[in-house]
Amino acid sequence: MSILQINTNRPQPAHDLALTTAIEIGAGMLVICEPNKKGIEGRNDWTYDEELDTAIKVLDQTIPLKEQGKGNGFSFVETTTFTVYSCYTSPNRGAQELEALLQRIANCIRSRGEDAIVSGNFNAKSSQWGMKRTDRRGKILTEWLAQNDLIVQNNGDKLTFIRREYGSILDLNLATNTIGSRIRQWKVRERESLSDHNYVTFDIIEKSRPLRRNQRQTGWNTRKLGRDKLQNAIDDIAESQNALAAEEFSSRLGQLCNRCMPKRKKRWRKTTHVLVE
Same domain, 81 and 164: yes
Domain of 49, in residue numbers: 2-205
Q: Is residue 86 part of a domain?
A: yes
Mark 77-90 as b/e (b = at least 16 C-beta within 10 Å): bbbebbbbbbbbbe
Sign of the alpha-carbon dihedral angle for 176, 172, 104, 205: negative
Average pLDDT score over residue span 183-190: 96
Same domain, 121 and 228: no
Of 166, 188, 205, the one marking the end of a domain is: 205
Residues 7-42 have pLDDT tens digits of 999 999 999 999 999 999 999 999 999 999 999 999
Same domain, 132 and 263: no
Give pLDDT, residue 250. 66
The mean of the pLDDT values for the chain is 88
Q: What angle do CA 154, 158, 163 make, to 5 degrees?
A: 120
Counted domains in the chain = 2
List the strands of the sheet with 199-204, edge to edge: 47-48, 54-58, 29-33, 2-7, 199-204, 183-189
Residues 127-153 have pLDDT tens digits of 999 999 999 999 999 999 999 999 999
| Of 78, 38, 24, nearest in space to 56 by CA | 78
- Chain CA centroid to CA 56, Å: 16
- Domain with residue 28: its CATH number is 3.60.10.10
Of 157, 175, 205, the one marking the end of a domain is: 205
Q: Is residue 275 part of a domain?
A: no
Give pLDDT, residue 267. 56
Same domain, 16 and 121: yes
Same domain, 172 and 226: no
Same domain, 8 and 64: yes
> pTM for the complete prediction?
0.76
Of 205, 232, 250, the one marking the end of a domain is: 205
Same domain, 46 and 166: yes
Q: Contacts from 127-136 at CB under 8 Å and sequence distance 24+?
A: 128/152, 129/154, 129/169, 129/172, 130/154, 130/156, 130/157, 130/158, 130/169, 131/168, 131/169, 136/95
Give pLDDT, residue 208. 60
pLDDT score of 270 more than 50? no
Q: Is residue 21 part of a domain?
A: yes
**How many CA within 13 A on the CB side of residue 248?**
6
Q: Is residue 148 part of a domain?
A: yes
Bridge partner residues of 162 (DSSP): 167
Give every CB contact of residue 229 below 8 A, 6+ residues apart in sequence: 259, 260
Same domain, 190 and 218: no
Average pLDDT score over residue span 75-91: 97
Residues 199-237 have pLDDT tens digits of 999 999 987 655 555 545 557 677 777 777 767 767 766
Same domain, 160 and 226: no
Bridge partner residues of 34 (DSSP): none
Same domain, 164 and 107: yes
